Structure 1
Amino acid sequence: MYKYLLIVNDIEQQLEQGQFKAGQKLPSIRDLSLQYACNKSTVIRAFTLLESRHLIYSIPQSGYYAVQQRGASLQLPENRVLDFSSAAPDPELFPYLDFKHCVDKAFDMYKNELFIYGTPQGLPSLLRLLCKHLANYQVFTKPEHIHITSGVQQALAILALMPFPNKKRGILMEQPSYHLFIQLVESYQLPVHGIHRSPQGDIDLNHLEHLFRTEDIKLFYTMPRFHNPLGCSYSEPTKKAIAKLAKRYDVYIVEDDYLADLELDSKSDPIYTYDSSHVIYLKSYAKILFPGLRVGVAVLPQALSDVFRTYKKVADIDSPMLSQAALEIYIQSGMFERRKHAIRDAYSKRLEQLHRSLHSYNEDSYIVASPSQSGVHTHIVLPPHLPIKVLLERLHKKQVLIQNLTPNYLPSFEPLPLMNLSITRVSEDRIDRGVSLIANEIKHLLKQGRRV
């Protein structure tokens, strides 16, 4: 095992065991480099990975601190962390006892299947159930077109690497986009292109058509609903236009519908509804269940299914059978639907509070994005001359965590002056305090700039 991974594993275990409390300072880089007999860059690499998982956070010229120990309540004292950076689900809202019941029942019902290799495509009974379940999202398909993956991330990795019937190689993605997918295509040195998505969530369809027509693009990766990090959604005419262009120019759309369960508008359909022949539909169950469950769903056109199945089998033989069996029972019992409504309502109230606070403290210091009824995040547009890096550092010192959006852009794209705000890790009664701190720091930096 690489030394930095050993450090990561040890610190993760200490966090889980409660050896570091929320807000407690971790050992210094120098101390850990001596403890593990490695150079400082190895420790920094470990800390960077832990920070990307939102397990720790850094304060410049101070050190690294624990975000939250496992099982700790998010109702922290007022002087503790306000985490607007994470889109990870709120543990306070998740059904541990219900799901434990489903896991126990899965052991009883599938005791024979759990201890043998399954199928690369997924548990057959779950595939049949998902056909009915996905119809609730206007995704009508057959079991042979559904593939269970170890999270949406695995599906993206397979799609990025596998050959497509259009014989093209390039990948097109919105800017900004999902930072881990950007890292993936860069790591494999795949040909990649970007297209701007405005702060309002719009896309230039003429430019999209130009790229489809002139570039060697096999797939276009998009988040039409509750885009991360913008938080906005495409209109129905835009989704229809994208589907039409994909079919005309033989480009496959990879539709990441990771927050489909939070949608309040029953008339909002995925792009898949308008053309299933050139759309790959991805859905995650992490936001409604647990990130550790690692169950994702990929619905593929017939032309891609066989190749995808082969690549997945080479990658991991099959996805965890226990997770699949438990998910099947959880959906079939009606627990999933009940929990979905509870989480959606809670997040909707938080998002409403966030927008109220943003408008309340704004004195023309920033532009608030158009409110969304649901989702988990929104954004504000900052003045272009405001030093965002300095702002994030000042907020960190006040234990307000904000995501750095630079990794959400390809190197060839200049990041927009945006601040993303997620509500999953901040309780409704603490959102106003967090926004007041953010607004005050923005005003402070603007005054400093005017004096200079």
Structure 2
Amino acid sequence: MYKYLTLLNEIENLVKSGIYKQGEKIPSIRSLSASYNCNKSTVIRALTELERKHVLYSLPKSGYYVVTSKNELNQWEKTVLNFSSSAPDSMVFPYLDFQHCINQAIDIYKNDLFIYGTPRGLPSLIDVVQKQLTNYQVFAKKENIFITSGIQQALSILASIPFPNNKKVILIEQPGYHLFIESLQTLKVPVIGIKRTSQGIDLEELEMLFREENINFFYTMPRYHNPLGTSYSQKEKKRILELAQKYNVFVVEDDYLADFEKNSKADPIYSYDNFTHVIYLKSYSKIIFPGLRIGIAVIPEKLIEAFSQYKRILDIDSSMLSQAALEIYIKNGMFERHKEKMKATYYSRANCLISALEKNLKMCNQAFFQYTPIKNIAFHTYIQLNEQISCEQVIQRLKRKSIIVDGTTNNYLRSFHEKDSILKLNISNVEEEYIEDGISQILKQIF
């Protein structure tokens, strides 16, 4: 990693932690050069990048100062608290590190990046991903790994290809991932739902559906479910797999938040399979940035030919530049460092969210809503409203107070009848200092 990037990250962390305060002058170029044992040009490059990112600003013949935040500059302007978005906080995107990797990728792969690649993905990235997947207890052969243009592409392909069990219906948790639901309904793919709550799913109902409903595959988010935030236990995961094997149903396991797991023993369903019934999906959208558009699909042997054919027809190959940059980002150790930074940020916010909910719930009339505590959440949880409370009215009241929340209308199939009135609470775009007040305002507007 370049010295200026190390210096840049260090100064940025000092600003974020408040060591260098807003409006305060930071040490001189000469002082920083001596402290970090580097030349002045390295310091100037780091400070210039921080100025470009609006972390610092410079005054001629004076030095560099910490930028005063927008809220400090205009204390009368309302801060919008967005508890709706599940996208990662753009303020923690690794822009400069990844820019460095893109530049390196162009230098290293300049003869390969601007021609068509392979539908399976950049071979050198697959080598790196294969090793990385072992950290999640996913031990896959290289020939089973595909690089896709995000998880959405992998799901679209899986919803389209013929499966060897010759079944047609897709089973999906309710509520569930809204973009996949929208895709299935738009393409008129046969799909039915199974209710999921804070207690999980009814495994007896799951067996009945597997037995009677011609289920092709069961799409599930076992870890940090979207939008509920809950996770299956090891016992539940094993039982789901047992039923899938018994009734020859495939399981599509979307492990999109695997990087935020705190429990080292929380293995995916894939780890219990014999490489025949589980399709494992992993995303980089939540840990790096959504625009990267790179997903990983681990495909069983009997589906490889069909999956490869459909992917080749759809896009020939996924972005070679993004793939090459990601490979370098992982190999250089930048991914692991950024992951730890992201985890620390979100764990801190999640703990603040839990604390705020528990504190405010003691003072509220819970006849109007239910909240089930969830352990180890990374991004989100939810509040279930009494059926007499209008979710839409609560959302509109909060919007007028510059608090953005969302319900789960889009997280249900139109044909599914057991819909709960739920307010989703995501903390990925709400800074820690605003969470407690935001939760207090949300609960006050429910009744």
Work out whether residues 75 and 427 of structure 1, in 8 Å CA contact, stay in contact via their aligned partners in 2: no
- Give, in angstroms, the shift of residue 122 of structure 1: 0.1
Secondary structure in 2 matching 1:312: helix
Q: Counterparts in 2 of 1:11-50, with a 5 A limit?
A: none
Instruction: Report if aligned partners of 1:148, 1:297 keep a CA contact under 8 Å in 2.
Output: yes
- How many Å apart are 1:358 and its aligned residue? 1.2
Query: Scaled by the length of structure 1, what TM-score is found?
Result: 0.80
Q: Aligned partner of 1:273: which letter?
A: S
Separation of aligned partners in 2, 1:75 and 1:95: 22
Q: Which residue of 2 aligns with 1:367?
A: 370
Q: Retained in 2: the 8 A contact 1:348–1:375?
A: yes
Question: Once the two structures are superposed, what CA deviation does each residue of 1:128-181 show, in whole Å capped at 9, x if it has no partner?
Answer: 111110000000001110001110000000000111011111100000000111
Percent sequence identity over aligned pairs: 52
* Cα distance change on mapping 1:201 and 1:86 into 2, 3 Å: farther
User: Which residue of 205, 220, 224 maps to 1:222?
Assistant: 220
Q: Show the counterpart of 2:61.
A: none
Within 5 A, what are the aligned runs for 1:405-416? 405-413=408-416, 414-416=418-420
How many angstroms does 1:72 deviate by? 8.5
8 A contact 2:407–2:422 mirrored in 1: no
Q: Does the alignment pair 1:331 with 2:330? A: yes
The answer for the alignment partner of 1:434 in structure 2 is 438
Give the 3-state SS of the residue equivalent to 1:341 in structure 2.
helix
1:53-202 matches, within 5 Å, as 76=71, 79-198=78-197, 200-202=198-200
TM-score norm. by structure 2 comes to 0.81
1:77-113 deviations in Å (ceiling 9; x for gaps): 6722110000001011121111111111001111011
Q: Paired residues, what number?
A: 373
Which of residues 394, 397, 402 in structure 2 aligns to 1:394?
397
Residue 381 of structure 2 aligns to a residue in which SS? strand
Alignment-mate amino acid for residue 406 of structure 1 = T
The amino acid that maps onto 2:440 is: S
1:348 maps to a residue whose letter is Y
Is 1:425 matched with 2:429? yes
Contact kept, 8 Å, 2:82 with 2:405, in 1: the verdict is: yes
Question: What is aligned with 1:320?
Answer: 319
- Give how far 1:201 is off: 4.2
Counterpart amino acid of residue 290 in structure 2? P
Give the deviation of 1:75 after TM superposition: 7.0
The alpha carbon displacement at 1:261 in A equals: 0.3
Cα pair distance change 1:201/1:375, threshold 3 Å: farther
Query: Secondary structure at 1:378's aligned position in 2?
Result: strand
Task: State the alpha-carbon separation in 1 of the partners of residues 223 and 415 from structure 2.
Answer: 25
- In the TM superposition, 1:238-317 aligns within 5 A as 238-275=236-273, 276-317=275-316
Counterpart for residue 233 of structure 1? 231
Aligned residue in 2 for 1:9: none
- 1:355-395 Cα distance to aligned partner (Å, 9 max, x none): 11112222233332223223100111222211111111111
Rg larger in structure: 2
* Secondary structure, aligned partner of 1:438: helix
Aligned equivalents of 2:199, 2:305: Cα separation in 1: 34
Cα shift at 1:417: 2.2
SS in 2 for 1:115: coil
Q: By how many angstroms is 1:415 displaced?
A: 2.0
Q: Unaligned 5+ residue runs, structure 1?
A: 1-70, 444-452
